[in-house]
Structures are given as structure tokens and as C-alpha cells.
Amino acid sequence: MRYPDPFLAAHGFAAAERRPLPADASFRRYVRLVGGPRPALLMDAPPPEDVRPFAALARHFGAAGLSLPQIIAEDAGAGFLLIEDFGEATHAALLDAGADPVPLYTEAAEALAALHAAAPPPGLPAWDAAAMARATAATFLDWWWPAAFGRDPAGSVRAELDAAIHAMLAPFAGTSGFVHRDFFPANLMRLEERDGPRRTGILDFQDGAIGHPAYDVISLVEDARRDVLPTARRAALAAYLNARPGLDRGAFLGAMAACGAQRHLRVAALWVRLERRDGKPHYLRHGPRCWALLARSLSQPACAPLRDFLDRHIPEELRRNPAPG
């Protein structure tokens, strides 16, 4: 963790106590600053991270009335931000402490609907079929496949996977807007003093893009890192659809299945990459959940192209993550 003392001093935090927060799967690190002019976090995001997308999206959606951390100060060239500290009450921590999941998932869905209803800023990357196919290949074919089979996939396999994901997502290409891409309880905060959609603080949105809103809904209700009770799933989906009555429910559910199949396959294989490349084997514990969620998605008609691809190449008994390397 780097400590930019001149940067902190310039904004009144030279004497603040520094409390590092637990690291996640990214290269970003956070430090809670206690005793400064206001509650704040220091974000340290060295290359290949880039703090500018975080700052731009925080300002844009904050101005739209959503609860994203206020940017207090930034040094984009060095990779530092001072941001508003929302506290410690993540939805994940509250759930782990035994909180009723239904209100939390309902609030999260209401905030997500407001996020999707707000006009996105210009210049965001596309999270379309091409990008989703590339991201899937980067974990499933580049890491899971060699770990499972001891060899790289043939070029024909890469072409088949690309075609399958394009075919699966093609029916839903006409609907797009801002997508957070990691909208789940660890990235959401309960802000007791706020009301409505602002009651949910939204974090880790720097990879936001333009894609189908169903991707974020499936990220919430089919979380790769925790089991979601059916009651919470139903409450969240109902709250989201009630807040966006213009959506075609049938088409949206189909898009959820298709986005879920792509996400679950990509993330199941991501755990392998984190273990083998980054030395983080503890993420492998989420593998069985992701493969089970993938199986559920593949049972839906919208996922037939990807299901057919997997049936050709991956027997069901191999649909799991290999043991640690």
C-alpha cells in the first residue's frame, strides 16, 4: 500500500489515522482515514488500474441523485483518490450478521432500477456479445480449459464458443443502457439516514459499460459469492420490474437467463485464474455455486446455443473447477 503524504496533507488528512481495509480480487487497495476533516477513504489504484472512470461515474450518477461516493480529491496520474466513506455496513456484512435478506435485496433492486433509468455518460465501452465472448474466452478457454485438460483449446473451439455466445445474446441486442457489471452485496452499502434508492450506496462501478440491464439483475439475484434465498430473489425481481414498467417481462427473463449463463461460465473459470495466476486459492470455494447456477441457466430455452456448445465439448462430470494447481 502506498501512502501519498503530500496529497493527504494538501487536503487536511496528514494527521489522520490510517486503517487498511481487506483487499479484494482487484489491484485496488483502500485505507480508511480516521480523524481528518471528514470520513474518507484513500483509494490506491496503481497501473493497470485507472481511477478516472471511477471518478467520472461517481460524479455523473451522484449528480443524478444516486448514492455513489463523493470525490473529495484526486491525483489521477499517480492513481490516488480521496472518496466519501460510506462506513462498514455493506449488504454482504449485514447478511453475514443475520439480517433479513428480503429488505436488503428489495432496496438493492430499487437502487439498481434507478441507476439503469438514469442516462449514462458518453464514451463508455460496450458490454455487448463481442465483449462478453472475449471475456468468457479469457477465463474459460485461457485458464479453465488448460487446467482441466492439460492443453490449450483448438482454434475451432474458440470459434465455436464465440459463435455460441453471439447466438445466445443476439435476441436481446436491442435493449441497452448502463450496466455496473458487479452489482452484488459486497459492493452495496446500507445508508440508514437516506431514503428511497439513495438508501443503497453503490461501490466498485468503475468497470461500468453499455449493455443489457438484465446482466446487473442476474449479478444481484444469482450472486457468484453467496447463496440467495428464493424469497429474496423474487422480492428483488419484483421490485426491479415494478420500478421499470416499460420492460417486456418475458424478454427480460430470457435476457437474464442468457446473461446469467455467460456470467456464470466466465466467473466459474475466473476463480481458476485467480488461483493459478494470482495465488488466491480461496476463491475456488465459489466454484461449485457458479457451476450449479450455470446448470440452472442452461436449462432455459434462451441458453440453447451455449448449452449445445458445452454438450459437444464438456461432459457434465467435468463441469467443475479442477483441484488447485
Residue-level pLDDT at 25: 60
Total domains, the chain: 2
How far apart are the C-alpha atoms of 47 and 28, rounded to whole Å? 9
Query: Residues 137-153: pLDDT tens digits?
Result: 999 999 999 999 999 99
pLDDT at 10 over 90: yes
Query: Residues 287-310: pLDDT tens digits?
Result: 999 999 999 999 999 999 999 999
Query: Residues 95-128: pLDDT tens digits?
Result: 999 999 999 999 999 999 999 999 999 999 999 9
Q: Give the number of other CB atoms < 10 A from CB of residue 177.
A: 15
Residue 239 domain flag: yes
Using the 3D structure, point to which of 54, 84, 114 is the last residue of a domain: 84
Q: Print the domain residue range for 18.
A: 5-84
| Beta pairing, strands 209-211 & 126-127 | parallel
CATH of residue 239's domain is 3.90.1200.10
Residue 288 domain flag: yes
Stretch 23-33: mean pLDDT = 83
If asked whether residues 63 and 110 sit together in one domain, one would say no
Query: Residues 242-297: pLDDT tens digits?
Result: 999 999 999 999 999 999 999 999 999 999 999 999 999 999 999 999 999 999 99
If asked whether residues 26 and 162 sit together in one domain, one would say no
Stretch 170-188: mean pLDDT = 97
If asked whether residues 54 and 96 sit together in one domain, one would say no
If asked whether residues 78 and 96 sit together in one domain, one would say no
pLDDT at 23 over 90: no
Percent of the chain predicted with pLDDT > 70: 99
pLDDT at 172 over 90: yes
If asked whether residues 97 and 64 sit together in one domain, one would say no
If asked whether residues 103 and 77 sit together in one domain, one would say no
Label residue 62 exposed, middle or buried (CB < 10 Å: 0-12, 13-18, 19+). middle
Return phi, psi of residue 248, to 5°: -80, 110
If asked whether residues 157 and 257 sit together in one domain, one would say yes
If asked whether residues 118 and 236 sit together in one domain, one would say yes
How far apart are the C-alpha atoms of 275 and 147, rounded to whole Å? 11
Average pLDDT, the chain: 96
If asked whether residues 60 and 176 sit together in one domain, one would say no
Percent of the chain predicted with pLDDT > 90: 95
Q: What is the pTM of this model?
A: 0.95
Residue-level pLDDT at 47: 83
Using the 3D structure, point to which of 57, 84, 111 is the last residue of a domain: 84
Residue-level pLDDT at 127: 98
Return phi, psi of residue 304, to 5°: -55, -40
Residue-level pLDDT at 28: 87
Stretch 167-192: mean pLDDT = 97
- Go through 105-139 and write b for each residue having 16 or more CB atoms within 10 A of its CB, e for each that does not: bbbbbbbbbbbbbbebeeebeebbbeebbebbbeb
